Amino acid sequence: MSELRELYQEIILEHNKTPRNFGKIETANRTQEGYNPLCGDHLHVHLYVNGDQIEEISFEGSGCAISKASASLMTAAIKGAPVAEALELFEHFHQMLTAEVDEPVDDERLGKMAIFAGVREFPMRVKCATLAWHTMKAAVLDGQDPVSTE
Amino acid sequence: MTALVERPAMDPSHSIDVEKIRRDFPVLNEKIRDKKLAYFDNGATTQKPLTVIYAVQRFYTTENANIHRGVHFLSQQATFAYERARGRIGQFLNARDNSEIVFVRGTTEAINLVAHSYGRPNVGEGDEIIISHIEHHSNIVPWQMLCEEKGAKLKVVPINEAGEFLFDEYEKLLSERTKIVAVTHASNALGTILPIKEITALAHKHGAVTVVDGAQGVPHLPVDMQDLDCDFYAFSGHKLFGPTGVGVLYGKKQLLDAMPPWEGGGSMIQRVSFEGTTYADPPTRFEAGTPNIAGGIGLEAAIDYVNSVGREAIAAYETELYDYAVEAIGEVPGLRLIGTAREKVAVLSFVLGDIHPHDIGTILDAEGVAVRAGHHCAQPTMQFYQVPATVRASLAFYNTRGEIDTLVKALHKVNEVFQ
């Protein structure tokens, strides 16, 4: 049960219940679809990128608490951030989730996203946590095809 | 709307000794995260009794050789054992002839084989193939591929809110253009039983053949091919307490006889020369290459096991357990059962408030409860109910009321976490 508490922390449950930046943004100039065919998590990430800056970001779709909270926290973390910073955070986040369970977590670099470290105990759920991030990355890099976690 | 399924009369005195049965399935004693395992993912794959495990072990330990090849002793033994397994499957399905039993890898391969070897020669431009709304992707996609290739049309029989096959609508879709009716015996996502016998009779009136996905039917329902009269019936060994990687395509002899091969290679030929090759008769024609010999033998052991428990006793026990489970999970606040057909196999598909099934699955797992959470490879079914996924507890005759109670307790815990 302690591992479960670690996974379903208050912040995650709260973001699942009231996700930030949920919905469409009218000014979006990038939209990317992300899909996890194994479990059916499905979302769209909308971005307004101005020069090197992510000025606006939102997401919409359906998925589990982990995928939704991860998307919500991601949008909060990178709204207003330079593109390079968002991509860097993606790398740190991705590294954390794919590292061994006992690997120390670099809180300083990850900020709030560090609370997803508990997901490592549940390998089947790692893709839930990373879906929004992969989708954001593809949107920033202006991918055309829907992103799949497979 | 008509639901034309009738279950065979069950004698409730044909009960089973579940504790004794559980001792035959070693994995059921496993501890999961320090909790007793409650395995409710039988729709995905069933656990294996010791007799099956030993049959596979015995084959590799004392009988292993390739079949239909050598004149040496072990090859003859292996050939004999494999063909005896085919015969047992033939009896189990009440086939007219053992040549109607084709060994395949599983249900998916069986359906693809029919789409290829029956579908391609018999379906042309403007023809129609009928499926139901509650098919598994493996009974949708092969037909879509065939339709695309041939310029044929795929027609879908709708369901009602309970998840029942609408027979009247099916009747309306049938015409002289219908060449194939491909339906599931029991829906994997909902548990709905389809009236195969009546569906087949009507299809035959219009000159169409029926292909039945029996993956979820075989473990729970009577499978008398002569009674159902369907033209093809497909199932997987591993969902019937047998090994993975082996399955069966039943096909009526006169249809198989007229069908071209599926894969080319060894075994499936009569004579090969560079000028041309003549093919072997069914079932060999459809069994190119060395098959899953141990798998076939393991499947025979699984059928023997199921027969020894008794098909009717199993069905009666599962029905009783299912009724108990429906009532028990009904107490969980926010729980909604998806698929409430009058005639169902023991499958409980549900959602719980707005909690995503994956979160439910993870929390149940922490309690040792194994369920399936997802779209069950039946996305059109999920779309019908406007849910992205469901939680599915699919029961087998080794499940107990105690395990259902564990499931219910764990579901209360889910509500606690997500309050």
Question: What average pLDDT is seen over chain B?
Answer: 95
> Which three-class secondary structure state does DSSP give residue B291?
coil
Hey, is the C-beta of B388 within 8 angstroms of any chain A C-beta?
A: yes
pLDDT score recorded for residue A145:
66
The arithmetic mean of pLDDT across residues B188-201, rounded, is 98
Indicate if the pLDDT at residue B269 is higher than 80.
yes
pLDDT score recorded for residue B2:
46
* Residue predicted with more confidence, B324 or A3: B324
In the Cβ-directed half-sphere of B300, how many Cα atoms lie within 13 Å?
22
pLDDT score recorded for residue A102:
85
ipTM for this prediction: 0.88
Indicate if the pLDDT at residue B7 is higher than 90.
no
Q: For residue B121, what are the CA distances in angstroms to B114, B124, B146, B150?
A: 10, 8, 11, 10
Indicate if the pLDDT at residue B3 is higher than 70.
no
Residue B404's pLDDT band, with cuts at 50, 70 and 90, is very high
Which is catalytic among the residues B65, B141, B173, B377?
A: B377
Indicate if the pLDDT at residue A148 is higher than 80.
no
- The 10s digit of each residue's pLDDT in B349-400 is 999 999 999 999 999 999 999 999 988 999 999 999 999 899 999 999 999 9
* pTM of the shown model: 0.92
Integer Cα distance of A147 and A62 in angstroms: 15
pLDDT score recorded for residue A109:
85
Integer Cα distance of A16 and A68 in angstroms: 6
Beta bridge partners of A45: A32, A59
Dihedral sign computed on CA atoms, order B186, B190, B195, B201: negative
Which residues lie closer than 8 Å to B216 by C-beta, 6 or more apart?
B43, B184, B185, B186, B187, B188, B191, B239, B345, B347
Q: Does an H or E element contain A38, and which?
A: none
pLDDT score recorded for residue B266:
85
Indicate if the pLDDT at residue A144 is higher than 80.
no
- The 10s digit of each residue's pLDDT in B13-69 is 457 999 999 999 999 999 988 999 999 999 999 999 999 999 999 999 999 999 987
Determine the Cα angle at B122 with ends B118 and B126, to 5°.
135
Is residue B246 within 8 A of residue B106, CB to CB? The reply is: yes
Residue B257's pLDDT band, with cuts at 50, 70 and 90, is very high
Mutate to test the interface with B, among A64, A149, A150 (most CBs of B within 10 A): A64
Dihedral sign computed on CA atoms, order B339, B344, B347, B348: positive
Integer Cα distance of B269 and A46 in angstroms: 58
Of A1, A13, A125, the CB nearest to B362: A125
pLDDT score recorded for residue B271:
87
> Which regions of A13-107 does DSSP assign to beta strands (E)?
30-35, 42-50, 53-62
Respond yes or no: is residue B230 known to be catalytic. Answer: no
Is residue B52 within 8 A of residue B302, CB to CB? The reply is: yes
Determine the Cα angle at B38 with ends B32 and B39, to 5°.
100
Selection from A29, A99, A39 nearest residue A66 by Cα: A39
The arithmetic mean of pLDDT across residues A15-37, rounded, is 94
- Smallest CA–CA distance, residue B374 to chain A, in Å, is 5
- Please report the residues numbered 352 through 371 in chain B whose beta carbons come closer than 8 angstroms to any beta carbon of chain A: 355-359, 362-363, 366
Indicate if the pLDDT at residue A39 is higher than 70.
yes
Q: Does an H or E element contain B23, and which?
A: helix B18-23
Residue A40's pLDDT band, with cuts at 50, 70 and 90, is confident
Residues of A in contact with B357 (CB under 8 A): 64
The arithmetic mean of pLDDT across residues A122-133, rounded, is 93
Integer Cα distance of B282 and B254 in angstroms: 10
- What interhelical angle do B73-92 and B293-309 show, nearest 10? 40
- The 10s digit of each residue's pLDDT in B317-348 is 999 999 999 999 999 999 999 999 999 999 99
Residues of B in contact with A3 (CB under 8 A): 366
- Smallest CA–CA distance, residue B419 to chain A, in Å, is 9
